[in-house]
């Protein structure tokens, strides 16, 4: 696992889009909370599962699409889909990454998937595409940039913004963590990430990671779990950046 990396938005142009994405996500949360009365409680994952249990028992008839998008953490995007991911025969690892991500989002292949490589090669594009595919199929998925994931965990732990954010990250069917390796390496952050990855590793829950970091630059236990061939697959994408003019 040499290079383990990327984000669809680079540091220069991504801040405005990140802010816009966060506004859309918060608006989605507000709408879903108003419609379903969701607030403090056992966590959104269990809340959705409870609604589904009641639907199966004929006690409810809700359209939970808004809740699925709220959980996912991103708005629908018709551009970032598997069908629109650009391949190039000169760079076969692009096709490998596409096929691996598509299979992972359909419960095929190993539960851990790591997309590694430099910025701009399409790792975050595929992560968003997987998120949309899972939601379209009614699945429970969370997509977070690692800095946002840690921010939510910290708010949950210290500000009690909403109970059991940590439980959602642990129990959700599919968890996608983008930009692993760019987070500040505080003791609390490293411990929180290590605990989360270890939990999903030990329970074989699906985890997809996108990163630009080399394996030696990641926390050793996390790098070791991502590289475990018995539970995970690492795809090292070797291709030029889309943002630098690749056609």
Q: The domain spanning residue 147 has which CATH number?
A: 3.40.50.300
Residue 27 lies in a domain: no
The whole-angstrom separation of Cα 47 and Cα 36 is 10
Crossing angle between the packed helical segments 146-154 and 187-203, to the nearest 10 degrees: 100
Residue 89 lies in a domain: yes
Q: Range of 188's domain? A: 3-8+76-238
Residue 14 lies in a domain: no
Token pair recorded at residue 116: 């590694």
pLDDT single digits (tens) 127-158: 999 999 999 999 999 999 999 999 888 876 65
Return the beta strands (E) in the chain as ranges: 3-4, 112-116, 141-145, 174-180, 206-211, 213-214, 232-236
Residue 16 lies in a domain: no
Query: Which range, of 37-41, 69-73, 178-182, averages the lowest pLDDT?
Result: 37-41
Residue 53 lies in a domain: no
Distance between terminal CA atoms of the chain? 27
> Do 97 and 122 touch, CB atoms closer than 8 A?
yes
pLDDT single digits (tens) 220-243: 999 999 999 999 999 999 999 987
Residue 67 lies in a domain: no
Q: How many domains are contained in the chain?
A: 1
Considering the entire predicted model, what is its pTM?
Answer: 0.82
């Amino acid at each position: 696992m040499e290079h383990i990396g990327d984000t669809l938005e680079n540091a220069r142009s991504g801040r405005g889009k990140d802010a816009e994405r966060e506004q859309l996500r918060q608006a989605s949360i507000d709408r879903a909370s108003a419609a379903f009365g969701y607030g403090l409680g056992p966590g959104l994952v269990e809340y959705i599962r409870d609604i589904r249990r009641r639907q199966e028992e004929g006690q409810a008839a809700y359209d939970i699409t808004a809740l699925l998008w709220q959980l996912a953490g991103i708005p629908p995007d018709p551009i970032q889909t598997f069908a629109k991911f650009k391949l190039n025969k000169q760079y076969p690892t692009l096709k490998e990454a596409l096929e691996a991500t598509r299979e992972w989002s359909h419960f095929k292949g190993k539960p851990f998937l790591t997309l590694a490589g430099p910025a701009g090669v399409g790792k975050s594009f595929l992560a968003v595409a997987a998120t949309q595919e899972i939601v379209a199929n009614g699945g429970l998925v969370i997509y977070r940039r690692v800095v946002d994931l840690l921010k939510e965990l910290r708010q949950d732990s210290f500000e009690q913004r909403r109970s059991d954010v940590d439980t959602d990250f642990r129990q959700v069917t599919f968890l996608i963590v983008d930009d692993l390796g760019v987070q500040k390496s505080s003791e609390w952050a490293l411990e929180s990430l290590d605990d989360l990855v270890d939990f999903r590793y030990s329970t074989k829950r699906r985890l997809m990671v996108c990163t630009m970091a080399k394996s030696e630059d990641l926390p050793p236990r996390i790098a070791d779990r991502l590289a475990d061939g018995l539970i995970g697959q690492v795809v090292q994408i070797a291709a030029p950046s889309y943002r630098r003019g690749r056609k």
